Protein backbone atom coordinates (compact mmCIF):
# COMPACT_ATOMS: atom_id res chain seq x y z
CA UNK A 1 0.00 0.00 0.00
CA UNK A 2 0.93 3.63 -0.35
CA UNK A 3 -0.25 4.39 3.13
CA UNK A 4 2.12 2.08 4.96
CA UNK A 5 5.33 3.97 4.29
CA UNK A 6 4.48 7.28 5.97
CA UNK A 7 3.09 5.36 8.92
CA UNK A 8 6.21 3.24 9.14
CA UNK A 9 8.60 6.18 9.03
CA UNK A 10 6.73 8.44 11.38
CA UNK A 11 6.07 5.71 13.90
CA UNK A 12 9.70 4.62 13.98
CA UNK A 13 10.71 8.23 14.35
CA UNK A 14 8.35 8.80 17.26
CA UNK A 15 9.43 5.64 19.01
CA UNK A 16 13.09 6.42 18.51
CA UNK A 17 12.56 9.92 19.94
CA UNK A 18 10.79 8.51 22.95
CA UNK A 19 13.56 6.04 23.58
CA UNK A 20 16.28 8.65 23.13
CA UNK A 21 14.66 11.21 25.39
CA UNK A 22 14.18 8.56 28.06
CA UNK A 23 17.90 7.76 28.24
CA UNK A 24 19.90 10.03 30.45
CA UNK A 25 23.18 8.47 31.47
CA UNK A 26 23.41 6.08 28.57
CA UNK A 27 23.08 6.04 24.78
CA UNK A 28 20.11 4.43 23.05
CA UNK A 29 22.28 1.53 21.91
CA UNK A 30 23.57 1.00 25.42
CA UNK A 31 20.04 1.14 26.75
CA UNK A 32 19.07 -1.62 24.33
CA UNK A 33 21.97 -3.75 25.47
CA UNK A 34 21.07 -3.31 29.13
CA UNK A 35 17.44 -4.05 28.38
CA UNK A 36 18.23 -7.28 26.56
CA UNK A 37 20.41 -8.42 29.43
CA UNK A 38 17.57 -7.68 31.83
CA UNK A 39 15.38 -10.13 29.91
CA UNK A 40 17.62 -13.16 30.11
CA UNK A 41 19.30 -14.83 33.02
CA UNK A 42 23.05 -14.64 32.66
CA UNK A 43 23.28 -14.58 28.87
CA UNK A 44 26.58 -14.89 27.02
CA UNK A 45 28.09 -12.01 25.03
CA UNK A 46 27.20 -13.69 21.79
CA UNK A 47 23.58 -14.17 22.77
CA UNK A 48 23.05 -10.53 23.62
CA UNK A 49 25.02 -9.21 20.65
CA UNK A 50 22.76 -11.22 18.40
CA UNK A 51 19.63 -10.10 20.22
CA UNK A 52 20.59 -6.48 19.79
CA UNK A 53 21.61 -7.10 16.18
CA UNK A 54 25.08 -5.73 16.65
CA UNK A 55 28.52 -6.62 15.39
CA UNK A 56 30.27 -8.66 18.07
CA UNK A 57 33.41 -6.54 18.05
CA UNK A 58 31.55 -3.29 18.59
CA UNK A 59 29.47 -5.08 21.17
CA UNK A 60 32.53 -6.26 23.05
CA UNK A 61 33.71 -2.68 23.37
CA UNK A 62 30.31 -1.45 24.50
CA UNK A 63 30.32 -4.10 27.19
CA UNK A 64 33.71 -2.81 28.26
CA UNK A 65 32.30 0.68 28.56
CA UNK A 66 29.23 -0.45 30.48
CA UNK A 67 31.37 -2.51 32.81
CA UNK A 68 33.56 0.53 33.52
CA UNK A 69 30.40 2.44 34.32
CA UNK A 70 29.54 -0.38 36.71
CA UNK A 71 26.23 -1.10 35.05
CA UNK A 72 26.99 -4.74 34.39
CA UNK A 73 29.55 -7.43 35.13
CA UNK A 74 31.16 -10.17 33.10
CA UNK A 75 31.60 -13.49 34.87
CA UNK A 76 33.55 -16.36 33.32
CA UNK A 77 31.38 -19.37 32.65
CA UNK A 78 32.60 -22.44 34.51
CA UNK A 79 31.53 -24.93 31.89
CA UNK A 80 33.36 -23.21 29.04
CA UNK A 81 36.07 -20.71 29.72
CA UNK A 82 35.73 -18.97 26.37
CA UNK A 83 32.35 -17.70 27.44
CA UNK A 84 31.53 -14.73 29.62
CA UNK A 85 28.12 -14.39 31.21
CA UNK A 86 26.60 -10.97 31.54
CA UNK A 87 24.48 -9.67 34.36
CA UNK A 88 23.34 -6.25 35.47
CA UNK A 89 24.58 -4.64 38.63
CA UNK A 90 21.97 -3.04 40.84
CA UNK A 91 22.95 0.28 39.32
CA UNK A 92 22.40 -1.21 35.87
CA UNK A 93 19.00 -2.60 36.81
CA UNK A 94 18.04 0.73 38.29
CA UNK A 95 18.84 2.47 35.01
CA UNK A 96 16.83 -0.04 32.99
CA UNK A 97 13.90 0.38 35.35
CA UNK A 98 14.11 4.13 35.20
CA UNK A 99 14.26 4.21 31.40
CA UNK A 100 11.35 1.81 31.17
CA UNK A 101 9.29 3.90 33.54
CA UNK A 102 9.84 7.01 31.47
CA UNK A 103 8.99 5.19 28.26
CA UNK A 104 5.90 3.67 29.83
CA UNK A 105 4.77 7.06 31.10
CA UNK A 106 5.11 8.56 27.65
CA UNK A 107 3.31 5.69 25.99
CA UNK A 108 0.53 5.81 28.53
CA UNK A 109 0.27 9.53 28.07
CA UNK A 110 -0.35 8.90 24.41
CA UNK A 111 -2.87 6.17 25.10
CA UNK A 112 -4.59 8.18 27.82
CA UNK A 113 -7.06 9.93 25.59
CA UNK A 114 -8.36 6.65 24.20
CA UNK A 115 -11.14 4.61 25.67
CA UNK A 116 -10.45 1.16 27.06
CA UNK A 117 -11.48 -0.59 23.90
CA UNK A 118 -9.32 1.52 21.63
CA UNK A 119 -6.35 1.23 23.93
CA UNK A 120 -6.68 -2.53 23.98
CA UNK A 121 -6.96 -2.57 20.20
CA UNK A 122 -3.81 -0.50 19.74
CA UNK A 123 -1.79 -2.57 22.19
CA UNK A 124 -2.96 -5.80 20.68
CA UNK A 125 -2.15 -4.52 17.19
CA UNK A 126 1.38 -3.61 18.20
CA UNK A 127 1.81 -7.02 19.69
CA UNK A 128 0.47 -8.83 16.64
CA UNK A 129 2.52 -6.73 14.30
CA UNK A 130 5.74 -7.26 16.18
CA UNK A 131 5.14 -10.98 16.24
CA UNK A 132 4.70 -11.07 12.49
CA UNK A 133 7.67 -8.80 11.84
CA UNK A 134 9.93 -10.89 13.98
CA UNK A 135 9.16 -13.90 11.82
CA UNK A 136 10.36 -12.31 8.60
Could you say which residues in the range 70-129 bind a copy of itself, by CB under 8 A?
100, 103-104, 106-111, 113-114, 118, 121-123, 125-129
Instruction: Give the residue with the Cβ less far from a copy of itself, 13 or 61.
Output: 13
Residues 54-73 that bind DNA (CB under 7 A): 54-58, 60-65
101: burial class by Cβ within 10 Å (0-12, 13-18, 19+)?
Answer: exposed
The least CB distance from residue 70 to DNA, in Å, is 15
Tell me the three state secondary structure of residue 89.
coil
List the single partner that 82 binds among a copy of itself, DNA, none, CB under 5 to 8 Å by kind. DNA
- 30 CB contacts (<8 Å, ≥6 apart)? 23, 62, 65, 66
Amino acid sequence: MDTIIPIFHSLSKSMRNIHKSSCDEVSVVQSSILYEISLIIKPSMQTVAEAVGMDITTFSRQIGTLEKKELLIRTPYEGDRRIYLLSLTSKGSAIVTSINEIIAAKMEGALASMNDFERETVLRSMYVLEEKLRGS
